[in-house]
Amino acid sequence: MKKRVISTLLLAAGLAGLVSPAAIAADLTDVGYIDQSALGALPGFVSANQQLAAYKAQLDRQFAAAVRKARTDADKQRISMQFQQEYSDKQNELVGPLYQRTQMAIAAVSTSKKLSIVVDRRIVIYGGQDITSDVINTVRSPAAISAPQANSQPTSSIGFVDQSALANSQDVKTASDELQKYEQSQQPIYAARFKDARNDVDKQEVMADYNKAIQDEQNKLLNPLVAQTKKATAGVAKSKNLLLVIDRADVVYGGTDITQDVQNALNK
């Protein structure tokens, strides 16, 4: 009986060996994440943002007064650009130095922990290394932060694409415009139905129909483009031996930027 049990386990082990792939690679452990809201709560950022908000309120009033005096659309555009520039300059003046110090701290901590990529905490469900407190301590320390040496960062198996850049393609813009036109054409139809609705339940039903109509049109117009982009992104990821690709907006530091490669693949 004992012999049979042993042989059963051996057979099972053999079968398990057949099921598992032969190649065993090292698991990915060089992914870090950071809670950006905690960084934003640093007194320096809070104070700078408060000053910036006060400046913006003042600027908004000046802007409204200037726009009222504008005679032409070109004047309005010029004024708008001028105020945007003023705001941007003030932002750089108030937040810029602390932002740069924070970036340096993230780079220094990442290098010391041999991380290949640091992402925003919101996109990590499990695992990864939380470097928030290390970065905060580095930012708070009075010592100067030295920039990490070039090429000191390991190559990442996680890539990223700038989705907003991809969304700027002519095809996407055309599809978005068409979708907008469709929405505008549907609104009066559903508005009429909405006015005839007798109660909230009827109204919600109209809304559900409206949303479905828009969703269907969106699927028709945009889904093929999304699928095409995903395919191109996956293709580039494969050629560069990347495991996953995430959105650039979620990347805080490091990673492999493949935006240009994906754009090239889409333009082929």
The position carrying tokens 């560069």 is 240
Q: Is 193 exposed, middle or buried (0-12, 13-18, 19+ CB in 10 A)?
A: middle
Q: Between residues 122 and 140, which has the closer beta carbon with respect to another protein?
A: 122
Q: Between residues 99 and 190, which has the closer beta carbon with respect to another protein?
A: 190
At 71 the three-state DSSP class reads coil
Q: Is 183 in the site for another protein (CB under 8 A)?
A: no
Q: Output phi, psi for 254, to 5 deg.
A: 75, -155
Q: Is 44 exposed, middle or buried (0-12, 13-18, 19+ CB in 10 A)?
A: middle
Using the contact rule CB under 8 A, the part of the chain among 9-17, 47-55, 131-139, 140-148 near another protein is 9-17
Report in angstroms how near the CB of residue 114 gets to another protein at its nearest: 15
Residues forming a β-bridge with 211: none
Q: Is 26 in the site for another protein (CB under 8 A)?
A: yes
Q: Between residues 73 and 144, which has the closer beta carbon with respect to another protein?
A: 73
Residues in 65-84 that interact with another protein by CB under 8 A: 68
Nearest Cα neighbor of 223 from 175, 186, 259, 261 is: 175
Report in angstroms how near the CB of residue 243 gets to another protein at its nearest: 4
Residues in 163-182 that interact with another protein by CB under 8 A: 163
Give the pairing type, strands 31-34 and 129-130: parallel
Residues in 236-255 that interact with another protein by CB under 8 A: 237-238, 241-247
Number of residues that bind another protein (CB under 8 A): 57
**Separation of alpha carbons 57 and 64, rounded Å:** 11
Contact between residue 208 and residue 193 where contact means Cβ atoms under 8 Å apart: no
Show the site string, 135-164: x = touches another protein by CB under 8 A, - = not: ----------------------x--xx-x-
Using the contact rule CB under 8 A, the part of the chain among 34-42, 100-108, 135-143, 199-207 near another protein is 199-207
By CB under 8 A, name the one of 122, 140, 173, 220 that touches another protein: 122
